[in-house]
Structure 1
Amino acid sequence: MTRQNESTVLFDALGPKGRRRSLIASIISGVVILGLLAWAAFGLAGNGFFEASRWVNPLDVLVIETTWIPAILATLEAFALGSLVAIVLGVVIGFGRISRFMPTRAASTVYVQFFRSLPLVLLIWISFTIDGHFGFTSEVLGWDGDARRLTFLVLGLGIYNGAILAEILRAGVAALPPGQAMAGYAVGLSHGQVQRLIVLPQVLRNMLPAVLAQLVILLKDTSLGYVITYPELLHSANIIGRDYGNSFLQALVIAALIYFALAYTLSKLVVYAERRLRKKTATPAKAVERIEMAVSNQIAT
C-alpha cells in the first residue's frame, strides 16, 4: 500500500473545491500566526528584549561552563534515573494489573488510580517535606544537598510516571485480539509463556510510541525540581536571572530553547527506536520458531 493510499483509507480525497478551501484556510491561518508572532516580537523589541547587552551575561562563557552545562547534566541525570524507575514500576504494576491473582490485581489498581490522580509537583514536595522532618536520607543514608534533592525528584517522577506507564501497558494488552492468547493456550503454552512469547512482543511494539511520548513528558517534568531547589535548567535560569536582573526573561528563553533541543532530540530517537522495533517484530519466522521451541519443551516435560 502506497503512502497516498494509506492517507485516504479513512476518508475520501478532497475534490477541487475542497483543495481550494483547504489552501485558503492554510493561507489565512499562516497569516494570522505570522501576525501574532510579529506583534509579539514588536512588543518585545519595544521593551529592549533583543538588546545585545541583555544577552551578554546569560551567554557568557563562564556562565555557560558553571551554570548551563551543569544544569543540562543535572536535568539529564534526573531524566535517566526517573525513566528507569518509571519503566521498572510500569512493567511490574502493569503486569500486576492483568494478573490472575486478585490481591495483586487489586493492589496494582489502587497504586495506579491513586498516584495517577496526584499532581506530580505535590508528590515531589510532600515526599521531600516528610524527609525534611524525619531526616531519612541525611541521617540513615548519608545523602545530603543535591543528592537528597535528586533522590526525591527521581522518586516523584518514577512513581507518578510508573502509574501512567502501567496503564499504558494494561491498555496495550487489552487491545490485543484475545484469539492470539487463546491459540497459545490451545497449543499447550503456559500463561507465562503466552505473555512472554505472544502478548509482550506485540504489546511492546504497539505501546512504544505512547511510552516514549510519556518519557518526553517526563523530561520536561524534571523542571518541577525547581520547587525543591534541585539545580536543573529552570532553577539555574532563575539563578542567572536573579544575578543579572535585566536578563531574567532572556535566561528563561535560553532554558526553553535547551528544553526544546533535548525534547526534539529525544523525539527523533523515539522515531528511530520505533522503526527499529517494527523491523524486528516484522519477522514472524523468528517468533514462530520461539513458540515452536516452547511448545516442544512443554511437550517434553
Structure 2
Amino acid sequence: MPDLTLQTHEGDGLPPATSADALSLTIEPLLDRHAPRPRRLSVTVIVAADFAAAVDEAYRVGGHDFGPFGAARLGGDVNGKTVPISADHASARVIIDANWWTRQSTADAQRAGLLAHELFHPRLDRLRVEAGSAEHLARTVHTPADGARWSVRNAVDELRCDLAADSVLKQMFTVQTPRGILPLPLGLLGSEDDNNYLGATLDAFDHLHDEWSSLLGQTLTGEQQSLVARQTGSLLTLLAHAEAEARSLDAPGAFAIPGIAEHPVGTLLHSTWQQICDAYDEYAGWQTVAASDTAIADAGQEAVLNLWRHFGF
C-alpha cells in the first residue's frame, strides 16, 4: 500500500477500523455527498467467519433462490456481499469476510473502500424503489435481450458503487505523492501489490482470448451462447471496476490504458463498453433515476446484443 496519512473530517477522527459498525457510522454521512439518503432504509453489517454460509443465510431470509454462494469471480475473489432482505429493498445485509477483514495485511483504507462500496448498493436499490424504477425487478433471464440487460445493470451498479467508494476514500484518507499530499483515490488501493482491477482485466482478456477467438463467426449451440453470455457479464463487471479505478486516477477510462485498448478481446469490447459509459455519463444523476435506469439499460442492451451478433447469436 502507498504511505497513507489519516485525514480527519468534520472535526472528528476516524473510528478504529476494527469495528465495522463504527466505520459504517463514519462512512454513511460521507456517502450523502455522492447520492441522497433514501427516506427509509435499514442496513445490518455482518463480519462473518463463514462468509459463504452468512451470504446463503441472507439469501434464505430474503427469499432469494440464487443457489449456494461462491466468492470466486473472474478477476479474483470478492470479500463483501450485499443482500436485500425485503422485497421493497428497505432492509439489507452487508456481509464481509472476517478472514479478510481481520487480516493484518488488510489496510484501513481497503476496509473503508470495501464497506463504502457495499453500503452504497442498498442505498442505490432503495432510491430506485422510491423513484418508481422497475429495472431492479427484472431478475428472470429468458432471452439474449434479458441477459444483455441484466449484465449492463449489474456492471453499471458496480461502477456507481466503486465511484461512491472513491468519493468516500478521498474524504477520509490522503496519500503522499510526488505532487504532494493528495486525497487517496480508489485506484491506488491495490497499486502496491498489483491487486487492482486494471491488471485483472488484462488477465481476464488473456484467459478468454483463445476461447472467444475460436467462437467468433461460428454458429453457436445454446450451451455456447449461454457461456459467452455469462462471460460477457463477468467481463463487463470487471470493466466497471477497472473504469472506476481509471476515473479515480483522472484517466479518461479503462480503455485509456494501452494494454486494455490494444488487446484483441479489448478491441472486441471497446465499442460496447464505450456505449454503456456514454449512457451512464449522460444519465448519471439522481433526480430522474427511474428514467435514467431505463435509458442506460436500453442503450447497454443494444450494445451488448450487437457484440453478440459477432458470435452468431
TMscore range, shorter length: under 0.3
Q: Work out which of the two has the higher radius of gyration on C-alpha atoms and give 1 or 2.
A: 1
Q: Which has the higher helix share?
A: 1
Q: TM-score, normalised by structure 1?
A: 0.27
Superposition TM-score, scaled by structure 2 size: 0.26
